[in-house]
Amino acid sequence: MSIHAFAGGAMVGFGRRSIPGVLGVALLIGACGAPSSSPTSGGSRSNGLTQEEMVDYATVLEAVQALRPAWLRERTPVVLAPRTGTAEANPVWVYWDGTRVGDASYLSRISPSQISRMIHHGAREASVRWGVGHENGVIYIVPAVGSAGPVFR
């Protein structure tokens, strides 16, 4: 049995034995370009922090400053048209389980024991997910089981 396909107007035949080889090559090519679903391990390139990584710090802000300082870096906004006055950058916003609770200074109120993990979303991803006004990204906090959550004062 053979399978025939049209490629560029010409009929191409594949024998029974060549199909597994062709599929294997296609899967290998696809796997090489597929992004990894896990965050990068180690270093400041990782987009996540776990509670275990922050255990030696008194607050989450101290942990982020020491382990992922790039998360807190505010970039200057790109101005495409002349404006009156000066253009101010939006801060790095902090979200607690889907609710925006404040800027990066809010992290000083949180103990590492209150969170399960944190994920940093860059400007592009944050703007797609939460809309405009996230030019400096988002720090998304996944709370620990049983955590009381943020206190608004």
Q: What is the token pair recorded at 8?
A: 């560029």
Q: How far, in Å, CA of 12 to CA of 14, rounded?
A: 7
Contact 54, 113 (CB under 8 A): no
Mean pLDDT value of segment 78-104: 78
> Quick one: pLDDT at residue 129?
94
Same domain for 93 and 133, yes or no, is yes
- Within 8 A by CB and 6+ apart from 87, the residues are 76, 77, 79
**Position 152 confidence tier, pLDDT thresholds 50, 70, 90:** low
Query: Considering the domain boundaries, does residue 61 fall inside one?
Result: yes
Query: Considering the domain boundaries, does residue 67 fall inside one?
Result: yes
Same domain for 18 and 65, yes or no, is no
Q: Which residues form the domain of 104?
A: 48-75+89-143
Contact 95, 140 (CB under 8 A): yes
Same domain for 59 and 98, yes or no, is yes
Comparing 138 with 148, the larger pLDDT belongs to 138
Residue type, 138: V
Same domain for 68 and 11, yes or no, is no
**Position 51 confidence tier, pLDDT thresholds 50, 70, 90:** very high
Q: How far, in Å, CA of 115 to CA of 146, rounded?
A: 10
**Position 146 confidence tier, pLDDT thresholds 50, 70, 90:** confident
Same domain for 16 and 54, yes or no, is no
Q: Domain count of the chain?
A: 2
Same domain for 120 and 61, yes or no, is yes
Same domain for 22 and 94, yes or no, is no
Of all residues in the chain, what percent are helix, strand and coil, respectively (each to 5)? 30, 25, 45
